């Protein structure tokens, strides 16, 4: 079982360590984890971003499963690159698992960052744009991709002390993936 480990973890100061920890957990469950930083690309090369894209796309194609870290990143929602990777895997018929270490519902996360108003469940931001409010942890497309192509989003009951270092929800995804 080959698992692509999607998420904004690659931007953490200890990204390589997190990758090693996730790969080790995968091994414990009889799987091989593929972390997006597992490459020898020179980040200073003129075409580094394209090389990384092609490398990660090839890595995803070799994998049977994705486990996506959908913890909000630089805003109220998941990392855009991770969302692409989840969509890529779902679109290619791969099993999709995801977790979010922030148990707050999406509209409440938006409220933490922006002025939101509304009545009867219809919420808008200060620009009059609708804030998605289906009682979900994030955008409905991600949530239902997980529902349809793997397992519902894993969310802890309470936010962990360290949002980015806690791998409990990641491990819960691994347990589910191992049962398939």
**Distance between CA atoms of 71 and 155, rounded to whole angstroms?**
9
Could you give the C-alpha distances from 58 to 36, 61, 99, 104, 105, in angstroms and in order? 11, 5, 23, 34, 33
Domain 2-102+137-178: assigned CATH number: 3.40.50.450
β strands within 70-169, DSSP E? 95-99, 116-119, 122-125, 130-131
Domain definitions of the chain by residue range:
2-102+137-178, 105-136
pLDDT in tens, the chain (180 residues): 999 999 999 999 999 999 999 999 999 999 999 999 988 888 888 999 999 999 999 999 999 999 999 999 999 999 999 999 999 999 999 999 999 999 999 999 999 988 888 877 789 888 889 999 999 999 999 999 999 999 999 999 999 999 999 999 999 999 999 998
């Amino acid at each position: 079982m080959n698992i692509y480990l999607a998420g904004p973890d690659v931007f953490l100061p200890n990204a390589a360590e997190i990758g090693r920890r996730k790969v080790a957990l995968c091994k414990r469950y009889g799987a091989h984890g593929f972390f997006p930083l597992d490459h020898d690309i020179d980040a200073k090369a003129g075409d580094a971003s394209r090389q990384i894209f092609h490398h990660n796309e090839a890595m995803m194609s070799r994998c049977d499963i994705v486990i996506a870290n959908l913890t909000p990143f630089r805003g109220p929602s998941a990392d855009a690159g991770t969302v692409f990777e989840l969509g890529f895997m779902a679109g290619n018929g791969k099993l999709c698992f995801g977790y979010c270490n922030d148990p707050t519902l999406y509209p409440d996360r938006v409220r933490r960052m922006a002025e939101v108003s509304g009545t009867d469940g219809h919420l808008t931001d200060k620009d009059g744009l609708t804030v998605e409010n289906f009682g979900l942890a994030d955008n409905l497309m991600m949530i239902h991709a997980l529902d349809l192509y793997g397992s519902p989003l894993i969310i802890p009951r309470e936010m962990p002390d360290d949002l980015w270092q806690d791998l409990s929800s990641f491990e819960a995804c691994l347990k589910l993936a191992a049962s398939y």
